[in-house]
Amino acid sequence: MTLSTALFSAACSVAALNFGAAVVFRVWMARQAASLRRDSRHGVAGGNSTSAETAADTASAAAAEDTAADAEASIAGLVHADFVPEAVVVLCVRGPDPFLAETLHALARQDYSNYRLVVVVDHSQDPAWHAVQCVKRALGLNDSQLEVQELRERRSECGLKCSALLQAIASLEDDGPDPERLIVTIDSDAVPAAHWLANLVRPLAENSVGATTSNQWFEPTSLAWGAWVRSVWQAGAIVPTAILANPWAGGFAIRHRDLVDSGLLSAWKTSIIDDGPVRDSLQRIGKRVVFVPQNVVINREDCGIGFSLRYIRRMLTWSRLYERTFWLTCCHAALVAGVHVWASLAALTGLLAGVAGTLGAADVLLACVPLLLLISGQVCGYEVVRQAVRCRSEMDGLGCRSELEGSSIGSHVSSQGVAWPWRPLLVAAAIPWTMLAYALGCVGAWRVRRVVWRQIAYEVTDGQQVRMLDYAPFPAVAPQPLEHHSV
């Protein structure tokens, strides 16, 4: 086999892998969303729908999605409309995130009937403290509806967010134990839809479900290059994360009882992040995690290229610390990046030879085919994943509606995203940088022993050996906004 044939075969394989994974993800998202919707309908009916109604519902779902999910959905359908345990929504804040006010307003408008908010601000001098108090006054909420706490104990052996969560949960003990109480966490860059809390709570009516979670999708709204690199990387990362239901604290719910019984509270005391030890803790008590497609956050924050590189490395570092399959991630990064470099060098060599006149136009085109295949496969995969997320998520104003196509370069950017055909071109241009960031991020994740997160430096040996190296309140005058958005 010649090198050109081997390269062509490798490019076809990687392109097929990327696009195939995206298609599998779209099918899975459709089935998961349909299953949860059927659970909701059963719940509204009180679990007593007639056989004719059930058969009609099943047939409709099969036509829309796939009948393979029906058996599992019928088991999981024992959800009752009267399952409304108290939900305590905990929001940990450090720094004035650009959507903090919108997040608080959206949390105050949830259609769930039994919940309250607890906001833990890192420091009273933090700019977020004033922002939260202003929103609380504007909404007219009392302390029982929205309680604002200043973080009192900043533990040196865990992350600041874990310290904030431990404080918020400890403050609930004054109310007396409630085995049915739910603890819900959300990030300050997530603007939840009205059904967000109800969507998270509903699957927990089944006792085998220990936690519910979701994830986020980065939707660039400008030409900020880092935002496109981060979005392309997330398009690949969200596929295994969602299918494996890896916990994500930006949208997460768990029973207070399971939080204690699983030992997760103890794990947080020595963990740099809160969602990392969730799966292992729940497995100890035989509970599983359910992914909720409707709650995928559409994140429109911009960022610079430097921030996106640090973000990717930090996410891969969490994966190394808490996931046993991180070696597979590294193998995938090496394979994909290696084939991209090989194809790029072959295309560059062909183009230079064409300019020098040693290769004809047809041969130059053939030399570029593997790279074009790779980029085309990833662009198509990106679009499939993007549409799967946006069509299932309730946390996006556009939903599945078609976007207006820009007719000029000046009209391709809007508050909701970048229109066709500019988006695929920007994605294609970002792919080589993303592959480089992915590979370097894996290498960095293996070697990193010091992590800077929200301007706080931590020394990290493994997931349960953490030391905060220094602490200072978030500055009143924030640095460059593109470099300090919420992650």
Domains of the chain: 1-47+66-396+415-475+482-487 (3.90.550.10)
Pairing relationship of beta strands 146-150 and 115-121 according to DSSP bridges: parallel
* Mean pLDDT lowest among 14-23, 106-115, 186-195: 186-195
362 confidence band (pLDDT: 50, 70, 90): confident
Distance CA 477, CA 470 (A): 19
Distance CA 233, CA 430 (A): 10
Q: Which residues contact 3 (CB under 8 A, 6 or more apart)?
A: none
Q: Please measure the distance between the N-terminal and C-terminal CA atoms of the chain and give it in whole angstroms.
A: 46
Confidence (pLDDT) at 478: 47
- When pLDDT is averaged across residues 36-46 and rounded to a whole number, the result is 56
- Strand partners for 78: none
Percentage of the residues of the chain whose pLDDT score is greater than 70: 82
Q: Strand, helix or coil at 89?
A: strand
Q: Is the pLDDT of residue 399 over 50?
A: no
395 confidence band (pLDDT: 50, 70, 90): low
Q: What is the pLDDT of residues 449-484, one digit of tens each?
A: 888 888 888 988 776 788 998 888 888 654 444 344
Residue (of 346, 359, 277) closest to 318 by Cα position: 277
φ, ψ for residue 347, nearest 5 deg? -65, -40
φ, ψ for residue 243, nearest 5 deg? -65, -35
- Cβ 168 vs Cβ 90: under 8 Å: yes
- Tell me which residue has tokens 């349960």: 464
- Cβ 378 vs Cβ 386: under 8 Å: no
Distance CA 28, CA 31 (A): 5
DSSP letter at 122 equals S
- When pLDDT is averaged across residues 348-367 and rounded to a whole number, the result is 86
- When pLDDT is averaged across residues 330-357 and rounded to a whole number, the result is 90
Q: What is the pLDDT of residues 217-267, one digit of tens each?
A: 999 988 888 999 999 999 999 999 999 999 998 999 999 999 999 999 999
Q: Is the pLDDT of residue 64 over 50?
A: no
pLDDT, mean over the chain: 82
Q: Is the pLDDT of residue 58 over 70?
A: no
Confidence (pLDDT) at 75: 34
Q: What is the pLDDT of residues 296-326, one digit of tens each?
A: 988 888 889 999 999 999 999 999 989 888 9
- Strand partners for 458: 451, 468
- Cβ 303 vs Cβ 223: under 8 Å: no
Distance of CA 217 to the CA centre of its chain: 6
Q: Which residues contact 381 (CB under 8 A, 6 or more apart)?
A: 18, 19, 21, 22, 235, 236
Distance CA 284, CA 281 (A): 5
Distance CA 400, CA 445 (A): 36
- When pLDDT is averaged across residues 58-87 and rounded to a whole number, the result is 50
